[in-house]
Structures are given as structure tokens and as C-alpha cells.
Amino acid sequence: MPRPSLLSSLPPIHLGRPWPLGATPTQRGVNFSVVAPLATRVELLLFGHGEAVEPQRVVELDLHHRTSDHWHVEVEGVGLGCCYGYRVFGPLQPGGHGFNPSKVLLDPCARAIAGWQGYQRGAAVGAAPNTGSCLKGAVTDRDPFDFTRAPRPRHSWQKTLIYELHVGGFSQGEGSPVPPERQGTLLGLIDTIPYLQELGITTVELLPVMAFCPHDAPPGRQNYWGYSPLSWMAPHPGYLVGDDPLTARQQVRALVTACHQAGIEVILDVVYNHTTEGNQAGPTLSWRGFCDPLYYQQNAKGDYQDVSGCGNTIAANRPLVRRLILESLRCWATELGIDGFRFDLGIALSRGEELAPLDHPPLFEEMEADPELVDLKLISEPWDCGGLYKLADFPARRVATWNGRFRDDVRRFWNGDDKTCWAMGQRLAGSPDLYTKSPARPGQCITFLTAHDGFTLADLVSFSRKHNLANGEDNRDGDNHNNSGHWGVQGPSSDPAITTLRNRQQRNLLSSLLLAPGVPMLLMGDEVRRSQGGNNNSWCQNNPLGWMHWQADQDDAALRTFLQRLITLRSHLAGLLNPELAHPEQGASQGAEQPDLWRQWHGVELNKPDWASWSHTLAWTLNHRSQGPLLWCGMNAYGKAIHFDLPTCPSGWLRAIDTGLPAGEDLPAEPEPWHPPSAPLESRSLMLLVARPLLEGATQKAGGGNRTRIISLEG
């Protein structure tokens, strides 16, 4: 419903002040401030409510209201809920684009947005006015988040386990535990927290929740993922319960508070490398209208330079632009309680003029030095669409990066590809070949097998090629190189042999992820074999194809149990999987020179790793100087069963994982002793043996004596 008019009279105006940016309540009213360096005149439009088609008042800002690059004014008699927009006047820029005063612009610092019911994206293109169908900023509070009531969980990188999910899709689908009126919303995620806790994750990473344009998609579809930002400050209205823009921030705070109180961190996937305004032919909605050549990378002719694949690239190297990005980060971190950020195509933010890569990008330098952001988890994609890829040499010390090589090499090994053993060994050792000859330090490397962009885990072992016809682009979209396999037939199968092998491969992949050093990330629904029908680019699929799978069958539930126990096992072995321990790959040195802990590679025979291009078997141990072997792991990606020789463990082996066994036995709640001198591994299976003391619980009285209890991995 439209809000009642907030402008019953014409209250006086004052010069105002340039800071803070956006609309800030004052004792007398609201202070408005925007950046428009090249503008000659600015108009502030005040609307009676969000769906109003004409402003009730136009406040003209002349040079008296300008301080350097900022235009500002204080208006008395208005307050929270006031809806507003801007018209900005100035000369056209090279290329014929730039200022367009016929368009009402959304404040880049607006923390809430109104006017969605009448909004028409197409009206922001061309020379005709869009006043009757524009979006408006809505004045909101700027209160800080209550960290006293809900302090940050502050999980160390060593203990962090990330779960990437889509806000709109995770709480939807048949069997969802969320009431229908809250499904697909931020508040609906609160109802899923017990599920996340039971699974054992520490951190959720939410796909974009900043306001985006759902209509920025082919006809008959919608932008579901949200990688098309319309605002860097305001929550997306489609994820709210109700249509009151003033409740948006409260709903974000409610979700973050509930997560913090459950011990779960919240990380946002943020898109600062481009916006929804596209290239020169796109709509003038916000940034472009205030200063087109400031915000977007352009050549001397005014042509857009694009390394985002979306038509434009943000010039994050420029002071005014990076200040806006930093303001956005502070808004979400200090006002809404967010614990960290994952930067989409983050390396693009390190580009300078003419898209030249910068060794010391100012945005990341200022981000790392900002005292309000110092305790956040920062993660980035290390690549962009212009070919820039920096992993160990990512130009920011505190920013972790997605290790795409881990994803590709682990997939290729278990897919049975040639020339994969050596690369697999490097990934299991913390990728020293990628991180300057030593394993990645804690908080530097995010390891993953699947993400929103690509196949799900179930599809990774069910399809050898993508099936994206539902996206309406004739299967041209999405990556063609997936390192996947179907193991018998393309897509779903009722053949027990095929389904058994697929289930085993999923366990092999998950075990490889959680037994490797680094910070592991899981994809929503992989634990219950969620499928997208072979679609590896479901960005426009707001339907069951892109939603969570809540109706688990027996095999789905078995995989979830396996992962729960695997996560618990990892937590008990966290010290050994700590990438801070370099695990030198040697054991022959004697006396004082011998390290306390080292990694040793094996093949089918002890001390004889086979790195040949045709090899598909690998084994390794972690050895202690005085206690002997602590872990032995064998991996058989070959098409036949193979016996592996085992080292002697003085304290006795416990078999923790054997993916060649039936569900439930492959990772039992209580690991069982293993006495044979060798380990028979089924084809395409993994076995992990653990020294008994590592999994022993407290000593208990039994029959007049003492016995040591093996811990339970039930989570």
C-alpha cells in the first residue's frame, strides 16, 4: 500500500553538510548528500510515497549547496520513510552518454528502496522521462548492530566450514521446514538454522542480497542469482516479508542475530565489479546519471571497458568510487552485523586506468587498514573475464581466494583422467606448488568442489556435459569444461550399479575436500544429492531446479549422514590438517633435524608413490617423530580393486572411512580397529585409517577395570 504523504507543507531547507553520504536523519529533518563531480546543477525530488508518479516538492541545489564533489542539503520536517530521488544536470560525455536530467536517479547510498510496484526498467533508457516509473530511496535509520546481544562467532579460519546458499532458494521446495509465507525470504532462513547446525557448518555464504533487478534477464525468465546490483546499500526487496522498505534492515538484523546466537557466521557474496546499468545502451538508474566517467572504466572515446562480462566495469581504483564501496562494506558490517564478504570477480577491483593490474590496489589497502573492517572474513574470486588470475599473488594480504585449481584437479583425479596423481598430491598437501613452495597459510585458500556457478555434486557424477536449454540460450551459456562424468548413462538412472558408483564418487569427492588443508566450502544441497538436471548455469531458474532439495530419499539421507560424520571427524583432526604446519615431505633425516610431523607419499607399495601419467592410485601418511604414523589415506581412482600396503601403527589403526563399503558402514559412527597388514580398496574408493589415540575419548570404568572409549562421530 502507498504510504501517506509525508510532505503536508513546504518545510524550510538549509545548506546541509557533505558527510555522511546518503540520507541521514537529523534533529531538524534529513540531510541529503550525493557525489556528482561534473554536474552543473542537481535537483532533489521529494515524493509523498513510494508509488507516487510525481514529486510533491523539487529542491534545487545550486553552487551554494556544493562542497568540492558533494552536493548536499538539509530539509526540515521530513524523516524516516521519506521517499526521494535526484535529477542531475551536466554536459554529455564522449560517446554521447552521460548526464540525462530526464531520468530520476536512485541515490547510490540509499539504504532502502521504494517504488517497486510501478518500476519499469525500460523507462530508464532513452530520452523520455521516467518519473512515473522510477525507484526512490527511502530514508532509514543508521543504527549500529547490537553486538552485545549477538556477538560475532569469530570462528578461526582453521575451524571454518562454509556453506554457500541462495537466500531465495534455500527455504523453498516441497518439504521445506519454513512456513509458506516466509519461504524465499531472509526471515525464512531463520527456520533453517537447526538444519545447518545439525549439518555442522560454521559459516553461511549468501548469494547476493543487495538489491538487484530481477527483470535483467531474457523474456520469460528472471535474474535469480542476483549478480546484477542496483544498489550496494539496500537489501533486495524480493527477500523480505511484506513490502515496507523500512523493515528491510530489521529483517537482515533479525537473521544475523539468530545466526550469531546459533554460532553461525554470515558472509555476503558482493558484486562491486559491475552494476545492472550495463553498457552505453543500458538504463540510467543511479551511478551513470551522477557521473558516468567516474564510476565506469572507459577509453578516451567513452567506450565502456568490460572485464566483468556484464557490459561495464567499476573503476574501483578511483578515490570517490572506492569510498562508496567502503561505505557499503561498513553499512553491512557495522549496521547490519555481517561477518565477512566474498568479492565476485574480486581481482577486477585491482585494475587501474586502462584496466592495468595494480600490484597495490588502493581499495584493498584501505579495506585492510579500516579499523571497522579489521575483524571480518574477506574472500575473493581470483579471476575476472579479462583473463587476470592471481591466486597466491592476490594483491591483498588478508583476502582469501577461491582455489579453482583444487576444484579442477580433484575432479580430474576421481574422474580417472591421466596426468592427475601429482596434481592431486599437491592439492592434498595444501597446494605448495601454487603458494610459493609452501602450503597456503590459514585464511588464504578456500577449497571447494562445487559452487553456485557450475554443476552440483550430484550432477558432477551424473552428466558428462551441460544441459542448459531451459535458460533459453540454445545451450551456449555455462562452462563447457566441467571435468565431470556420468558413469554409465547421461542423467538419472535406476541401474543399481550406476547409482552405487555415483554415490561412492560423491563420498570420494567430499572426503578429499575435508581431508585437505584449507578452508572448505560446500554448496547448498550437495549433502542430499540436489540436482539441477545437468544445468550448470541456473542463474535464471527461480523454480524447483534452483531450489533446495528437502524431500530426501534413503540415499540422500545416507549421504547427509556421511557428511555430518565427516565434518565431525575433520574437527577432531583439525590440528593435523592445519595448513600452518608445513608437513615437510621427508622422513629420512635423523636426530634433532627430524621434524615432529611430516608427510610421506606412497603408492600401492610403501614409499613408492607412482606419479606417472597413467597412474590412478595414491596414498599418503602423516607421521610423528615419536608416535609413528598418525594418518594413512589410500585413494584408488582405477577401474579395478587394488590392495595397498600399510605402514605399522604402534598404537593401532582405526578404520574411519572406507567409501567402498555400503552406506552407514563407509563412515561408521564409531571407527573400528583395523589389523590386516594391507588395505583392499574397491575400484574408485578411498580409505582413511587413523591412529587410535587420535579418536579416543575419556577413559571409562567397565567391569571393575578401565577401558578407553572411541569417540562417536554422530556430530
Give the C-alpha separation, 363 to 376, whole Å: 15
Is 353 annotated as catalytic? no
Among 344, 409, 556, 666, the active-site one is 344
Give the C-alpha separation, 106 to 136, whole Å: 6
The DSSP secondary structure of 28-70, one letter per residue, reads SEEEEEEE-TT-SEEEEEEESSTT-SS-SEEEEE-GGGEETTE
Give the C-alpha separation, 162 to 153, whole Å: 13
The rounded radius of gyration (Å) of the Cα atoms in the chain is 28
Give the C-alpha separation, 434 to 393, whole Å: 9
| Strand bridging mode 445-448 / 265-270 | unpaired
Is 381 annotated as catalytic? yes
The number of C-alpha atoms within 13 Å of 627 and in the hemisphere containing its C-beta is: 18
Helices 421-428 + 404-414 axis angle, to 10 = 130
Give the C-alpha separation, 151 to 524, whole Å: 25
Give the C-alpha separation, 567 to 569, whole Å: 5
Helices 319-330 + 287-295 axis angle, to 10 = 130
Give the C-alpha separation, 242 to 176, whole Å: 20
Among 277, 292, 381, 556, the active-site one is 381
| Cis previous bond, 680, omega within 30 | no
CA distances 466 to 169, 184, 374, 415, 477, Å, are 21, 27, 41, 16, 9
| Strand bridging mode 162-165 / 519-523 | parallel
| Residues belonging to the active site | 344, 381
